[in-house]
Amino acid sequence: MAAPPKTCKVILADTIAKRLLQEVKDTLASIGNGKPTLVAFLANDDEAAVKYAEYSQKTCEENGFAFDLRRVDKEELEQQIREANEDSQVNGILVYFPIWPDNIAKDNYIKESIALEKDVEGLSFKHLSNMYHNVRYLDPPTNQRKSILPCTPLAVLKILEYLHIYNPILAEGNRLYGKTITVINRSEVNGRPLAALLANDGAQVYSVDVTGVQLFTRGGGIKQVRHQVEDKKDWGLKDVLPISDVVIGGVPVESYKVPIDLIRDGAVCINFSSYRNFDGPAVKEKASIYVPSVGKVTIACLLRNLVRLIANHPDKNNQQARNEAFLDG
């Protein structure tokens, strides 16, 4: 039998990133804050981080932001972050992790040392805990300051919106209801927050890593405060891939490949690993939509977060607002 003609649509991150960046530019113009500055601390020799930093710099400059890459010694990092926290010229701060690969607690301490109002990656405890509990604002019940979501999970959400996997006919907070999604990766930075966010929006999410499968669900309704997690003992990809509408790969290992033969015909496949978790030619014979990488969307989300931080603090960041406050006073 002849091979079936290809029907898979390949969507490049660039297409989606461009749309988001236009939104970011428009929002930046509307809050009239001049050229915001993002400070990035590099305290390791990670070549991937250097490349990512270079691309971030380029994207910042193209979109009206200043990007200030600071190479610092590990031992100086905390002090440098403190100074940036205090510096009114700095609007957002990020750190390239890991700093101490063998000491998660030390990396976590660094994460927490970034001021909440400059935590552009949304990795501080307050931002993460809001995300896990489906709390959208930092200042309830006033609800003027939006909580920040981590960039890569947010990028995947934005991609799923672009791909019409979020159904706009349904109520906000329920737009993934009826969808089954597998996320292969359950890291604290990417896979677990992503599974929680998808479950909070109504999806049935199978979160898979080497330790096994967990099912994340929102629970019964759309007013549920947070998702629920259940261990699926003895389950594996063989159980979850055939029933998944969307398969998201994020395994940071070059040799890892998702078993395409288990994927349902016409599924949507998205890769957020810096390695290709899907074999390109094979996945195109099986998927309806394939997104081979998300990096450019992640950077667009970083700038989206930065603009959100600025909008959260018009008093601190907006010269005009500051002047008006002075004149009023």
Binding residues (CB under 8 A) for its own copies: these are 2-7, 9, 11, 162-164, 167-171, 174, 177-179, 202, 204, 219-224, 243, 245, 264-268, 288-289
What is the torsional sign of CA 192, 198, 202, 208?
negative
In the complex, minimum distance from the CB of residue 204 to its own copies, in angstroms, rounded to a whole number = 7
In the complex, minimum distance from the CB of residue 224 to its own copies, in angstroms, rounded to a whole number = 8
In the complex, minimum distance from the CB of residue 215 to its own copies, in angstroms, rounded to a whole number = 12
Q: Which residue has the tokens 């349904």?
A: 170
Q: Please, what is the angle between helix 151-162 and helix 13-31, to 10°?
A: 110
Q: Which is nearer to its own copies, 94 or 289 (CB)?
A: 289
Q: Which is nearer to its own copies, 121 or 245 (CB)?
A: 245
| Letter string b/e over residues 88-117, b meaning 16 or more CB atoms within 10 A of that residue's CB | eebbbbbbbbbbeeeeeeebeebbebbbbb
Q: Which is nearer to its own copies, 69 or 163 (CB)?
A: 163
In the complex, minimum distance from the CB of residue 266 to its own copies, in angstroms, rounded to a whole number = 2
Q: Determine contact, residues 181/246, Cβ cutoff 8 Å.
A: yes
User: Rounded distance, CA 172 to CA 174, Å?
Assistant: 5
Backbone angles phi, psi at 3, to 5 degrees: -65, 140
Q: Which is nearer to its own copies, 198 or 289 (CB)?
A: 289
User: Rounded distance, CA 167 to CA 170, Å?
Assistant: 6
How many other C-beta atoms can be found within 10 angstroms of the C-beta atom of residue 29?
Answer: 10
Q: Which is nearer to its own copies, 116 or 229 (CB)?
A: 229
- Given the residues 8, 60, 151, 269, select the one marked as catalytic: 151
Residue 155 tokens read as 């990028």
Q: In what order do the strands lie in the sheet with 66-71?
A: 66-71, 37-42, 92-95
Task: Based on the residue annotation, tell me whether 151 is a catalytic residue of this protein.
Answer: yes
In the complex, minimum distance from the CB of residue 4 to its own copies, in angstroms, rounded to a whole number = 3
Q: In what order do the strands lie in the sheet with 228-232?
A: 9-10, 289-291, 268-271, 246-249, 180-184, 204-209, 212-217, 228-232
Q: Which is nearer to its own copies, 32 or 221 (CB)?
A: 221
Q: Determine contact, residues 187/166, Cβ cutoff 8 Å.
A: no
3-state class (DSSP) for residue 326: helix
In the complex, minimum distance from the CB of residue 113 to its own copies, in angstroms, rounded to a whole number = 41
Active-site positions read 151
